[in-house]
Structure 1
Amino acid sequence: MNTNTQWNFTQKILFRFFFVYFMISIAPWTWISNLPFEWVQDVNKPWQWIEDQLVQFANKNIFRVYKELVPINGSGDTSWAWTHLWFFSLLSFLVAMVWTVSDRNKTSYPKWNYLLVTIVRYHVAMVSFGYGIIKLFALQMWFPSMSQLATPLGEYLPMRFSWMFIGYSTPYQVFSGAAEVFVGLLLFNRKTTTAGALVGLAVFTNVMAMNLCYDIPVKLFSTHLVIMCLFLVVQEHKRITAFFLLNREAAAGTIYQVSLPKKWQRITRYVLKGLFVVLVMILPFYNAYDQYQSAKNPSDQKPFRSGIYDVADFVLNKDTIPAVVGDSTRWTNMILHPGTTGSMISSDTLFRKAYGRSYFGYFIDTTKQQVTFRWGGKNSDSLFTMRYSIPDSSTITLRGPVKGDTLFVRLKRTNKQYRLAEKQFHWLSEYNR
């Protein structure tokens, strides 16, 4: 929207709608949670409570689509998120209509528009830095683990398949992260905001397409980012059209320029911008680097060696159980990852299931020569504890009570290798691989 001329009726209606909707969906007052203090999390709780109450009310009394709303969790496309979209879109429309009637003589909103585009561009920049920085250290998508490599391809859902596709190539993930960080840097500077919006539109349209095409449950969030980039692009559509399509001289942009005649105003701008740099760029970069250092090359838990193990013997209450497909008690193909996690093939409901395998955490006490199997991390629920012995470098024996039964397991380490883990690259390829 051109702030130097009178806006037409459509421009004013759209501005009022997006002003309300973006303010609610971005909620810039919640940015305080970026401060590295525990108490700031409590500051946002009143808004979170109000937001949830409104969404719950809308579901029960207006839309009546879902019996019970599932809050946002690992998925951003839950029933709560969709109801949130419907309700606040409706609310924004109604407020825009009331605003139009009550302020019908207003010709334009240049100052309010400056506030809105500033909040939108900083929000998109924050998201760009947040996701881009962790990709720079290849921390968002991990290289497929041995358990994932051992899982038949057909067992995977599209999201996990796409996650491993990106995680397989560290250079590609770093490249995509650099593109997102570049968007944030461009949006951070007023003079390059238009370029940032255009690059961001390309980057996040690709992200949105992946989310839609691979059923990744961040569809709403990524679509919002695309709409926000479009909103910034439309702000200067005449300049963009003149330069890129009509081969004409484009006038200097004025939409992000604001006069700050007083010294305290200029100082405040620099202080806030410096705070933004620290909280959204420097601290996330430092935290990601620290996480990268911690996650790099996890070591084995002595005396166990990570790798793939055949379950050579599985003795339940003195009865040797053969490896029969579909047996609910037999363990097969146990994999111990470097660190504290592992998986196996078993239909025993005691374990955490994912993509046809049973996952667990394992923690070794060398003093007592015991290994404790847990649901996941060290603080998760304990499943059972067994005594272990290491007869030779490739054998582990486990014995102890499991669900009231006495179990003896002998594991034999194999030399199985997966070609995908070799990370092959060829400049010269004489045939199609």
Structure 2
Amino acid sequence: MQTTHAPSALAWPWWRKWLFCFSCLYLLLFMSPWTWLSSMPGFATLAGLYDDAESWLVHQGNAHLFHVKDVLVPLNGSGDTSYGYAQLCFYALAAMVGATLWVLLDRRRRNYALAYYWLLVLVRYFVALSALSYGILKLFALQMIFPPLSALATPLGDLLPMRLSWYFIGYSQPYQMFSGAVEVLAGVLLLWRRTSTLGAVVAASVFLNVMMMNLCYDIPVKLFSMHLFAFSLFLLVGDAERLLNFFVFDRPTQPNWTPPPLPRRWRIAQLTLKTIFIILFALLPFYQFYQQKATMAGGPSEGRLTTGVFEVEKFDANLPDSLRWKDVIFETSPTGSILTTDTLLRQRYRRGYFAYTLDSAQHTIAFKKMASDSLPAFTLRYAQPDTNHVVLRGKIRNDSVFVALRRQKRHFQLAERQFHWLSEANR
């Protein structure tokens, strides 16, 4: 009779040890689990010190080894900045050096089966956190927005691929909510060991689609989405033989190896930590997004001008023709855009985008490049005789300006909610 050994008793070859050590160090550096609680008192300081030390090491590594770019652009709305690439180079180099030293200094250890198990647990929760974060946001249709009036008035050829894909998903709330529900399902399944394999399969499918969209539509979250897909596959590596036996070779499978049960006090601690994780990263965000959705749906219209597309009937100003206004759009939120090349406004897709603050007592409207700006780009007095007319007057660049606006009866077919069971022809 053949004797079988538990995985914890088998000796690993040196290359498998090295791969584990490299994966462990790289994954820990990328996930930075010690910064997950940075919003809690006491952890913010430690997280800040860690971020400062990492930033210094990344810049030093880039200056002497990586040379991604002379001046690194920090992470912002895009995760694919030059700093992001230099950071990954640093992670890879640190993991390679660390793994080599680890294996050399720990040659007598037979394997890392127990450490591998707990690394899988950590990766499971990281992927679950990411899936829940994105999924709950989509579940309330808050990640991708329905195309606003400014986008509808922009020629299709002027849109960048990312914006086109964003509006494609945002156009249909049911589709976006369906996508979010699948991501939430993946996150929930990953929270329990018995359903973790199914959760990893669902997560790999979801993040493969996300990764391909980011790569094919030039969406600047390529690195992160590629990592989420790779992490999902990492969760399935240990199950590869079992999955192949079941789905391909039609053979019986054995249950996964698990470490011996924890003492009772540790099981209580484990259950407590899992409960805290679910409350902080699933239930609380769900409630917050629900509140946000309710606020957006029933928000007051005070502090906003009448929504619509306004043509410029009269524009008196000592400005070059290229800076003159052709039309003005006021959105349902206190934002809008102007068909002008004036760089006082945020230029995107040949339109100048702005946020505005209305002072109904003084009858002034302050135009800002970004809603977060403390000072406006310019402030004008406004009058609204009726819902179809707006008059603006004041100074822009110290030049007197008078603008008369009249609402256009613009009709955008894309803004209609169209669905036809019966379609007699392509439209």
Common topology (TM > 0.5): yes
Q: Which amino acid aligns with 1:48?
A: D
Where 2:384 maps in the other structure, the secondary structure is strand
Which position in structure 2 is the counterpart of 1:285?
286
Match of 1:31 among 15, 36, 39: 36
Find out whether 1:42 has 2:45 as its counterpart: yes
User: Where does the alignment leave 5 or more consecutive residues of structure 1 unmatched?
Assistant: none
2: distance between equivalents of 1:114 and 1:352?
50
2: distance between equivalents of 1:80 and 1:263?
45
TM-superposition CA deviations, 1:192-243 (whole Å, max 9, x none): 1111111111111111111111111111111111111111101111111111
Change over 3 Å in CA distance of 1:311–1:422 after alignment to 2 = same
Find out whether 1:368 has 2:362 as its counterpart: yes
TM-score (structure 2 length as normaliser)? 0.94
User: Where does the alignment leave 5 or more consecutive residues of structure 2 unmatched?
Assistant: 1-5
Change over 3 Å in CA distance of 1:248–1:268 after alignment to 2 = same
Match of 1:406 among 394, 400, 407: 400
TM-score (structure 1 length as normaliser)? 0.93
Deviation at 1:286, TM superposition (A): 1.0
Find out whether 1:216 has 2:251 as its counterpart: no
Change over 3 Å in CA distance of 1:2–1:180 after alignment to 2 = farther
Which position in structure 2 is the counterpart of 1:22?
27
Q: Which amino acid aligns with 1:198?
A: V
TM-superposition CA deviations, 1:105-151 (whole Å, max 9, x none): 33211221122111100100011111110110011110110001111
CA contact (8 A) 1:388 1:398 kept: yes
CA contact (8 A) 1:298 1:339 kept: no
Which position in structure 1 is the counterpart of 2:388?
394
Which position in structure 1 is the counterpart of 2:247?
244
Q: Which amino acid aligns with 1:189?
A: W
2: distance between equivalents of 1:2 and 1:352?
59
CA contact (8 A) 2:303 2:334 kept: no
Where 1:96 maps in the other structure, the secondary structure is helix
Find out whether 1:173 has 2:167 as its counterpart: no
Any runs of at least 4 consecutive aligned residues in structure 1 with deviations exceeding 6 A, and if so which?
none
Where 2:65 maps in the other structure, the secondary structure is helix
TM-superposition CA deviations, 1:51-72 (whole Å, max 9, x none): 1111011011112331111111
Which position in structure 2 is the counterpart of 1:100?
103
What does residue range 2-401 of structure 1 map to in structure 2 within 5 Å? 3=8, 5-33=10-38, 37=40, 40-255=43-258, 257-260=259-262, 262-296=263-297, 298-301=299-302, 304-316=305-317, 327-377=321-371, 380-401=374-395
TM-superposition CA deviations, 1:17-37 (whole Å, max 9, x none): 10111111111111213x5x4
CA contact (8 A) 2:381 2:393 kept: yes
Which position in structure 1 is the counterpart of 2:421?
427
CA contact (8 A) 1:149 1:418 kept: yes
Where 1:313 maps in the other structure, the secondary structure is strand
CA contact (8 A) 1:134 1:140 kept: yes
CA contact (8 A) 1:327 1:347 kept: no
1: distance between equivalents of 2:16 and 2:303?
67
The aligned length equals 422
Q: Which amino acid aligns with 2:370?
A: G
Where 2:377 maps in the other structure, the secondary structure is strand
CA contact (8 A) 2:366 2:377 kept: yes
Q: Which amino acid aligns with 1:411?
A: L
Q: Which amino acid aligns with 2:278?
A: V
